[in-house]
Amino acid sequence: MTVQDLATLIVSAILTAGLYATMSYGLALIYGVMRIINLAHAGVMMLAAYMTFWLVAVLHLNPFLAPCVVVPTFFLLGLAMHRFLIRPLGSAPMIASLLLLFGVWLIMQNIAYLIFSSDTRSIFTQYTLWTIHAAGIPISFNRLMVFAAGVIALISLHLFLTKTYPGRAIRALAVDPEAAILVGINTSRMSMLAFGLGIALASLAGCLMSLIFSFDPDFGRSHLLKSFCIVVLGGLESFVGVALGSLVLALVEAFSVMWLRAALQDFVSFALLVLVLLVMPNGLMSLFRRRA
């Protein structure tokens, strides 16, 4: 392998890591605040991909403006899901929410089959074949813009969680729900907001992925697996860890292509998930905490 090939692999992995982080933050946010594993995450990404296809192919909206419509729509959907599905569960065991959201995912999938059939769709625009060359490294314009959108979203999320009252309230709720109640935080409202943000982030990931990958009603299944792997790898409650886990998984996948077929990338995610659970069950961030 030449130096240029190595540089190309690393750049590709970094661009992919930005997308992986975007699709994993929503899962981590909902689990961190509510201790709920959102299996409907995959269905949200899939429906967001189809909505993006409709906006671009039918309404001829610029594909990079599609998130401005998709994300607010799914944020409202997330608020409604929490109000009518999650809140009535109250303090039920985790298995109840797990089965409920799994059922929601199946409903979303079957609705997509009824409306869009099982045909594979893809979004082809004037930007699809554009390539930028930097230091001799070819970079897809689509991937670069998707990476930029993901970085902007993650910076916005960080600023919201650290600089605003609702964001700090959500973080307080994630750390200690009982203490959050004692200091006057409306935990029910903050939980709804966190769930809405988690669904909105999942829809953003689906919107961005639809500009790169083809999709069908099964779209999102393998990406849900990768999101689980990233969240476990980074640490279940660490957003910094999620970003680091995204980079690690993207690098492992990029270099595994040299020894494995590209079709076996899901196997890489499975293997990495099992390895992390056996060796570092608390994620990569636990290593930094030990050294500190």
Q: Report pLDDT digits (tens) over 111-128.
A: 999 999 989 999 988 878
Cα separation, 111 vs 88, in Å, equals 24
What are the pLDDT digits (tens) for 193-212? 999 999 999 999 999 999 99
Mean pLDDT across the stretch 41-56?
95
When pLDDT is cut at 50, 70 and 90, the band that residue 237 belongs to is low
Q: Residue 290 has what pLDDT?
A: 53
Sign of CA dihedral 209, 243, 99, 171: negative
What are the pLDDT digits (tens) for 142-166? 889 888 988 888 889 889 999 999 9
**Per-residue pLDDT at 74 exceeds 70:** yes
When pLDDT is cut at 50, 70 and 90, the band that residue 42 belongs to is very high
When pLDDT is cut at 50, 70 and 90, the band that residue 286 belongs to is low
* pTM higher than the cut 0.85: yes
When pLDDT is cut at 50, 70 and 90, the band that residue 262 belongs to is low
Share of residues in the chain with pLDDT > 70 (%): 95
CATH of 3-291, one of 3.30.1360, 1.10.3470, 3.40.50, 3.40.1000: 1.10.3470
- Helices assigned H by DSSP within 58-93: 67-81
Residues 6 or more apart in contact with residue 122 via CB below 8 angstroms: 213, 214, 215
Angle at 143 between CA 141 and CA 147, to 5 degrees: 115
Lowest mean pLDDT among 116-120, 131-135, 250-254: 131-135
Burial of 164 (C-beta count, 10 Å sphere; 0-12/13-18/19+): exposed
Report in angstroms the alpha-carbon separations of 33 from 44, 54, 173, 275.
19, 33, 6, 26
- Phi, psi (deg, nearest 5) at residue 263: -65, -15
